[in-house]
Structure 1
Amino acid sequence: MGSEIILSVIGGMGLLLYGMHIMSEGLQKIAGHRLRDAMGSLTQNKIISLIVGALITVLFQSSTATTVILVGLANASIITLKQTLGIILGADIGTTVTAQLIALKVTEIALPVVGIGATIVFFSKRDKYRRIGQAILGFGLLFLGLKIMADGMYPLRDSQFFKDILLQMSDNPLLAIFVAALFTFLVHSSAATIGIMMVLAMQGMLPLVSAIYLMYGANIGTSFTAVLSSLSSTREAQRVATAHVIFKAAGVLVFLPFTIPFAEFMQSIASGPGFQVANAHTFFNIAIAFIFLPFTSYFAVLLEKIVPERKERSTEPRYLDDSLIGTPSIAIGLALKEIIYISDNTVKMLKEVKKVLESYNSDLVESILKTENRVDRHTLATRQYLTQVLRNPISKEEFTKCLRLINTVNELEKIGDIVEKNLLYLAESRKINNAKFSEEGNKELEIMYSNIFKLANMVNNIIMTNDSRMTYNALCLQEEITDLEFRSRISHIQRLSKGVVESENTSAIHLELINAYLKIAQHLFQIIEIANDPEILDIKNIDEFCNGGNIFDVNSFKQ
């Protein structure tokens, strides 16, 4: 008997957690791009932040997942600390929907739902419908797991020993809170903990007061996963995770002295024990939201003091967050921000190397080399990050974006290499040989550099905004730069034929500078083409890449 109960609980828990996972995955695939837009373009309106947080958590079925994503977005500076506070409070409300569904006894239709979801997954040819089927299948598995646990634990209602343990929770609230917090932290799901509590309550084994104490612990435990995910992140991300813990802990401290009257109030508004526990969970999180929401601005200031700033290491990625790789729409956005940072540094190198070419400065050379080393490190990290994203099941649009970004960052890296290996070398050669260009030759090089630097800034803006007008202007510059390069060579040869001494002494450096500038221009134009011409990516077998061997892809079963 005992082993059957244990196996039922473990198996049911596994199905419940797996169901939540694939349901969340399916819903994110359906609305992933909208998710990033919603979270990344919030206004300062606290109510909107609250609503968005609640809706997104209904999508994820996990306030922990929402908070982990917020940690990543704050780490990438996509949203501010003040914005995240409202979303966190809303997320805590959204996560209570699962408890309300359990109270409705949706478990009775779990098997038909699993059947419907599986049918859609296996027989639909379109990705969109397979994702919907995946979400339905996950929903059914969630409640099937809950039903298996409920059936498995039913014999415990006759166990006096088990009843005594649960009654102890009423007499020792701190123990109840600790046990529930620890269990929730281990399974990464407050919904799982609340679900088990509701099963016990509906079978008459768990008093409401004990259930409320356990509910307090589940709410605290769910906040610690985000803390772990933020340990290696920026201070802003750590503040987001800390805020979640403080909200939950403070809420428990406010409610704890009033638990018994709170339980009596819940009993007065709902007759069934399942609804009483579910309503207590919902009411607790709504109350926390309304208590703290008006003071989020002040709380943000307090968090900045609790978690003060520190000097960030510039060699490490600024925006990439491994915890968000499983959410491709957001991960790609973070990679884009990292590439914008790389592009900014590339433009900075081009600006500084011009000064070195004019007047050699060892300190400035060292600064350029440090920047180039930083660009190399960030480029490698970004390329690896996007490669990991490609290993996930992603849409064709996301696949194309990933390839574009990988190609873009490769071109930026090549520009950095030209600055380091060509332009700095030529600047040093010019210094050693005390080489001076002719007045006409120097003017030609100045004009060519000016156009290259102008193009680099245009490309930087195109990467940031994908502005079609900027793209048109940059392409117009292509013909001008090509013409400049040709005329500069002809003009230089004419000066050599006339015996201009400066041109004779600097001929090699002059021509190599033109070559270097032209190569930089070619890489910049390549970035523009990548941004505007999908054919340049030469995408083959895109469906295979996009499906990523997903177990819910029908084709993967046929192989």
Structure 2
Amino acid sequence: MLDLIGAVALLLWGLRMVKTGVRRAFGARLRRWIAAGTRNRPMAFGVGLAATMALQSSTATALMTASFAGSGFMNSAMAQAIMLGANVGTSLVTRILAFDIHWLAPLLVAVGVGMFTISEAKPHKGIARAVLGLGLMLLSLHLLGQSTEPMRQSEVVRALMASLDTVPMLAVIVAAVLAISSSSSLAIVLLVMSLAASGTVGPSLGVTLILGANLGGAIPPVLATLGDGPPARRVTVGNLAVRMLGCVVMLTFVDQAASALSGFASDPAQLVVYAHIAFNLLLAAIMMPLLDAFSWAMRRLLPETPMQGDGSRHLNQASLSNPAMALAGAVRETLHIGDSVISMLQKNLEALRRNDTKLCSDIAAMDDEVDRLNEQVKVYLSNLNRTILEEDNAQRSAEIVSYAINLEHIGDIIDKNLRDLVEKKIRNQLSFSAEGAAEIEDFYMRTLENLRIAQSVFVARDVGLARQLVGMKVDVRHYEQQSAANHLHRLRDGRIESVQTSALHLDILRDLKRINAHVTSIAYPILKEAGELRDSRLIEAKGPA
């Protein structure tokens, strides 16, 4: 049993390494590819299939597809076509891994480790990670075969499988729970395949367990998108509904399916793999022509609720015909983004004060929400800009997009930089000197005040406030330089706290200064329109005497 648990754990870790390696090496290109491959249903199906074979995870494909659907980049029917392709893709991965190629495992592990050691670029390290993960997966399959072999003589296992065989619904539930626990239907299918190869699982029970694995594999994406808007949840809930319906129907024909597949499979393990492929191909063949009707049903089941949850609250599609109302809604939504960014910076300061890693985790979730809202604002205004806008409205639309983008950049600085710096301080149990901590906290408070002023400038478009905001940029630059100089003076005095936190202190100053630069950008269009902005801060060069 310990060998079995270890083999399954190694399989899951190998799956994780392949998924993260591919995403780190080709993540941005994969996302663009998926977003672009939705011109028609067959192409969307092929994109889902290929992406899942590359990632070896239908869950990863589901979450990417849900994010695109939630941002308005694809409709529900195309998203479901991608998911049908993803389900077939993960079954084909099972077929490839079922080949007797475990001898490749040590070679792939050696190549992966070697590539990772000598590679410097992040994409190359991602490829090396994926190669190493694939080697670990093949090794785990070999270990699975060895660990399940003694189960033939286990009376306990025989009794357990016999009880599952007599209660198919219980077998489906057990397999589904295992798939949910491991967040991978592929791992459970491979486990069932090993049990079938050892004679522990019969043909009918094998098919039943495959149905449960497929059902359970659709649940983790649903749980991951519970906080998203209806368009994103329609993708994952729709995929779960399709698999559940397929399981209910197929459960009544398990014996007939096992008998039919026995004519194609040369051994019990192959029968399990063919059952997995046949189930997903059958679902795809039935659902592809029905996607429009199915998408309509999902829209009725999960209607738009723009005023609820943490998603878009003020972007009313009906207002697109009235530019003034649409721009007002976009302004309110962008202000909501600004409030979220202010909360992120406040949480970051609290985490710095209290050494609280939980607050750091909250910041990461808030940044994801800021990114989603920013995408929604940009898509909403791009739809508005397709109509004929007056010059003032077009300029205001551009200002909103610019401010939303700057807020997203600020959120990224807080999440990717300042949060990492705080976590490093907590992890290494470091402390700033009393003077350094006071300077950093004062810089945070100045930045928060500037963010609040920027929110007011964005709404009121007041020239006086805009001048005040730009003037504060100069104060921020001087404060950052003075704080850095004070820190260097403490270093020369040999203050132990300053020596240990030198890089942290200077990096925090740098990132807060970058945030203030983004904050100030809202004032420039207003000052330029009022004729109060020079083209350059440079003093004109004097001519020769």
Q: For this structure pair, what is the TM-score category when the shorter chain's length is used for normalisation?
A: 0.5 to 0.7
1:517 aligns with 2:530: yes
Whether 1:238 and 2:277 are equivalent positions in the alignment is: no
C-alpha contact (below 8 Å) 2:453/2:465 kept by paired residues: no
SS at match of 1:107: coil
1:340 alignment partner in structure 2: 378
Query: Is the partner of 1:105 in helix, strand or coil?
Result: coil
Is the CA contact (8 Å cut-off) linking 2:172 and 2:211 kept in structure 1?
yes
Pair 1:13–1:391, CA change in 2 (3 A): farther
Instruction: Provide the residue aligned with 2:287 in structure 1.
Output: 292
2:243 aligned partner? 248
Aligned-partner residue type, residue 423 of structure 1: D
Which residue in 2 is equivalent to 1:361? none
Which of 459, 462, 465 is the aligned partner of 1:423? 462
Identify which of 105, 114, 135 aligns with 1:140.
Answer: 135
**Alpha-carbon spacing, 1:40–1:344, altered in 2? closer, same or farther (3 Å):** closer
Aligned-pair CA distance for 1:18:
1.4
Aligned to 2:71: 76
TM-score (ref. length: structure 1): 0.62
Within the alignment, does 1:13 sit opposite 2:40 as a pair?
Answer: no
Q: Distance in 1 between matches of 2:90 and 2:253?
A: 23
Q: Alpha-carbon deviation of 1:152?
A: 2.6
Q: What's the CA shift for 1:103? A: 1.9
Tell me: CA distance 1:376–1:268, structure 2 relative to 1, closer, same or farther (3 Å).
same
Question: Is 1:212 aligned to residue 212 of structure 2?
Answer: no
Cα distance in 2 for partners of 1:129, 1:230 equals: 31
Task: Report how far residue 128 of structure 1 moved.
Answer: 4.1
Q: Relative to structure 2, which stretch is displaced further, 126-135 or 291-300?
A: 126-135
| C-alpha distance 519-279 of structure 1, shift in aligned 2 (>3 A) | farther
1:206 offset after TM fit, Å?
0.8
Conserved in 2, the CA contact under 8 Å of 1:220 and 1:245? Answer: yes
Q: Structure 1 390/57 Cα, relative in aligned 2: closer, same or farther at 3 Å?
A: farther
Letter in structure 2 aligned against 1:241: T
CA contact (8 A) 1:243 1:303 kept: yes
Classify 1:515/1:301 alpha carbon distance in 2 versus 1 (closer, same or farther; 3 Å): closer
SS of residue paired to 2:305: coil
> 1:335–1:382: 8 Å Cα contact kept in structure 2?
no
Question: C-alpha offsets along residues 86-110 of structure 1, whole Å, 9 cap, x if unaligned?
Answer: 0010000000123213321233432
Q: Letter of the aligned partner of 1:232 in structure 2?
A: G
Paired with 2:149 and 2:374, the residues of 1 have a C-alpha distance of 52
TM-score (norm 2): 0.64
Counterpart of 2:411 in structure 1 is 384
**Percent identity among equivalent residues?**
23
**8 Å contact from structure 2 (residues 11, 137) kept in 1:** yes
* Equivalent in the alignment of 1:90: 85
Larger mean Cα displacement after TM superposition, 330-339 or 189-198: 330-339
- Offset at residue 146 of structure 1 (A): 2.8
Within 1, Cα distance between the matches of 2:96 and 2:269? 10
CA–CA distance in 1 between the matches of 2:223 and 2:34?
22
Q: For the structure 1 residues 200 and 225, does the alpha-carbon distance in structure 2 shift closer, same or farther, using more than 3 Å as the test?
A: same
Does structure 2 retain, via aligned residues, the 8 Å contact 1:342–1:379? no
Counterparts of residues 297-336 of structure 1 (less than 5 Å): 297-312=292-307, 313-314=313-314, 315=333
CA distance, structure 2, for counterparts of residue 392 and residue 98 of structure 1: 37
CA-to-aligned-CA distance 1:334-372 (integer Å, 9 cap, x gap) = 687367379889x99x958x99xxxxxxxxxxxx9xx99
- Structure 2 gaps, min length 5: 308-312, 315-332, 342-360, 421-449, 467-523, 538-545
Aligned partner of 1:270 in structure 2 is 265
Alpha-carbon distance change, 120 to 306 in structure 1, aligned in 2, over 3 angstroms: same
Partner of 1:162: 157
Verify the 8 A CA contact 1:13 1:149 in the aligned structure 2. yes
RMSD after superposition: 4.5
Equivalent pair of 1:423/1:516 in contact (CA under 8 Å)? no
Does structure 2 retain, via aligned residues, the 8 Å contact 1:342–1:378?
no
Residue 181 of structure 1, aligned match among 173, 176, 181: 176
